[in-house]
Amino acid sequence: MTVKQMLKVQKVRLDDVFAALAHPIRRAIIERLAEGECAVGELAEPHDVSLPAISQHLRALEEVGLLEQTHTGRVRRCALKAGPLSAAFSWIVQYRIFWEDMLDDIGEKVERRGTIMTETKATTETATGTVRLTRVFKAPRERVFNAFLDPDALAKWMPPNGYTAHVYKVEPKVGGTYRMSFSSLDKKDTHFFGGKYLEIKPYERLHYTDKFESEDPAMKGEIKVTVTLKDVPGGTEVRIVQEGVPKKIPLDGAVLGWTQSLENLARLVEQ
């Protein structure tokens, strides 16, 4: 397949994803499944439409890979598949970055004129953000939990697309520390980071700090990550809350990175 053909296929798939998300009921279904796997009846309950109509919406989402349906006896359950959303998100992010860069340029020009925006910009630069994600893995809780503390597993699943990871230290105990780095394949872009484990409740909860080793003031500050796991039909639900994300890192970029990492984790633990 030529590069031109590959780009054409990617565009068609992206068109299909946006077409599937164009209906408000389908978007509502995706929002509900982001909270965790559930039965078809639960998805239909909030909407004043027939069950066959809901089934048609589910098929439309399933055809583009946005969800997966399984049967447990007579009960049909659905789970969110984040891969196609990641592709759509990547397309949207580039335009958010465009507007943010444009607004930054406007802000700098206004600052040079001594307007009140100088004070506003100084305040927002120190602000931080919070990222929240939920994903269901078709694997036991023990297997998923261990992947967050095993150095070899971390090196495989944690780096986002286009990066490799090196794990220098992992002490999986309360008060223990860890240190890692992400590097692009050409080694021109490397980020070192690490932190301390604040809480380790085996197979249920993991709470730790994260901090970038950077001289850039906009990248300084302590990030806190909380990972909770629980059994759900068909696997393990994982909820991740990352607080204190530096302002310099766009939240949609952080979500995209986590989404790619969790796709890697699924491939690792669901084997």
pLDDT digits (tens, 9 = 90+) for 207-231: 999 999 988 888 888 999 999 999 9
Per residue in 45-95, pLDDT tens?
888 888 889 999 999 999 888 889 888 788 889 998 877 776 666 556 545
Model confidence pTM above 0.85: no
Q: What is the largest CA-CA distance in the chain?
A: 69
CA 123/CA 77 separation, integer angstroms: 46
The answer on 37 and 144 residing in a single domain is no
The answer on 212 and 189 residing in a single domain is yes
DSSP-derived 3-state class of residue 80:
strand
pLDDT for 103 equals: 54
The answer on 160 and 39 residing in a single domain is no
The answer on 264 and 142 residing in a single domain is yes
Secondary element (H or E) of residue 107:
helix 83-112
In a domain, 240, yes or no: yes
pLDDT for 36 equals: 85
The answer on 261 and 217 residing in a single domain is yes
CA 231/CA 139 separation, integer angstroms: 10
Per the CB < 8 A criterion, the answer to whether 184 and 190 are in contact is: yes
Checking if the pLDDT of 8 tops 80, the result is: no
CA 268/CA 163 separation, integer angstroms: 17
The answer on 107 and 179 residing in a single domain is no
Per the CB < 8 A criterion, the answer to whether 128 and 139 are in contact is: no
DSSP-derived 3-state class of residue 144:
helix
Query: What are the residues facing 195 on neighbouring strands?
Result: 178
pLDDT for 92 equals: 61
In a domain, 158, yes or no: yes
In a domain, 85, yes or no: no
Strand extents, DSSP E, the chain: 38-39, 67-72, 75-80, 128-137, 163-170, 177-184, 190-201, 205-212, 223-232, 235-246
Per the CB < 8 A criterion, the answer to whether 47 and 25 are in contact is: yes
Last residue of a domain, one of 80, 108, 142: 80
In a domain, 103, yes or no: yes
CATH of the domain at 237: 3.30.530.20
pLDDT for 89 equals: 62
Count: domains in the chain: 3
Per residue in 140-162, pLDDT tens?
999 999 999 999 999 999 999 99
Residue 46 DSSP class: T
The answer on 203 and 115 residing in a single domain is no
The CA distances from residue 240 to 35, 42, 131, 254, in Å, are 12, 24, 8, 12
In a domain, 111, yes or no: yes
The answer on 51 and 109 residing in a single domain is no
The answer on 135 and 101 residing in a single domain is no
In a domain, 220, yes or no: yes
In a domain, 160, yes or no: yes
- Would strands 235-246 and 75-80 be described as parallel, antiparallel, or unpaired? unpaired
The answer on 134 and 256 residing in a single domain is yes
The answer on 96 and 202 residing in a single domain is no
The answer on 105 and 36 residing in a single domain is no
pLDDT for 87 equals: 62
Domain that holds residue 28: 3-80
pLDDT for 271 equals: 78
Comparing 101-115, 211-225, 230-244, the range with the smallest average pLDDT is 101-115
Per-residue confidence band for 167, with pLDDT thresholds at 50, 70 and 90: very high
Per the CB < 8 A criterion, the answer to whether 191 and 249 are in contact is: no
Last residue of a domain, one of 125, 150, 184: 125
In this predicted model, which residue has the larger pLDDT, 123 or 142?
A: 142
pLDDT for 156 equals: 96
CA 69/CA 79 separation, integer angstroms: 7
CATH of the domain at 73: 1.10.10.10
Residues in the chain: 271
